[in-house]
Structure 1
């Protein structure tokens, strides 16, 4: 449990994983989808997850440079964990509708 929490712990890592579960995103799109996170923290969290092998970063040789992030197979394997955390939050959040929102189905080939 401690190892898993070390990998996905932090305020923004689960949200980043959730967004990347829908497919690869450019840095600017990821940044726009998380308006409350500072640029410094977002970059730090992305670098940590890349170092841990949860996401991959692809830089396209263009002007201006384009950077895209996507889940690795290891990152995709976290889908059940993210879904369980989401379900628990939906069930226990005060003053909210109890509805299940799931990560998209991720198929690892």
Structure 2
């Protein structure tokens, strides 16, 4: 059996790693809420009701694995976990803010383009 050679190379650059870290429907919102002090999974679930707990847990685990967030486990009568941004996560927040600013600046064009492409799908 011949060895398979990937036709599309995997990029090994900063853009690709940033995309991998932020890839996920709810990750940016999760980061924004954690930065605001909403740091328990149940609080995140209340603030992002469209996301299932399973998806939130998976995306929190990925952000944890990438070193963007850390967690404290409280071993009290009722165990709970709180997440917070690491230094690496805090360094990402200006980029997230700039992405939001860009989106707000171009929101009308983006809305029109997205609505047009959705109607065609």
Structure 1 counterpart of 2:107: 93
Structure 1 counterpart of 2:92: 78
Select the residue among 30, 33, 36 that pairs with 1:16.
30
Query: Is the deviation greater in 25-34 or in 45-54?
Result: 25-34
Runs of 4+ deviating beyond 4 Å? none
CA distance in 2, matches of 1:77, 1:46: 18
CA contact (8 A) 2:39 2:83 kept: yes
Which TM-score applies when normalising by structure 1? 0.81
Where does structure 2 lack aligned partners over 5 or more consecutive residues?
Answer: 1-14, 110-121
CA contact (8 A) 1:53 1:72 kept: yes
Structure 2 counterpart of 1:6: 20
Which structure has the greater CA radius of gyration? Answer: 2
Select the residue among 37, 54, 63 that pairs with 1:40.
54
Where does structure 1 lack aligned partners over 5 or more consecutive residues?
Answer: 96-109
Deviation, structure 1 residue 24? 5.6
Aligned length: 95
Deviation, structure 1 residue 84? 1.1
Cα deviation 1:43-85 (Å, max 9, x = unaligned):
0000000010000111100122111011001000011110111
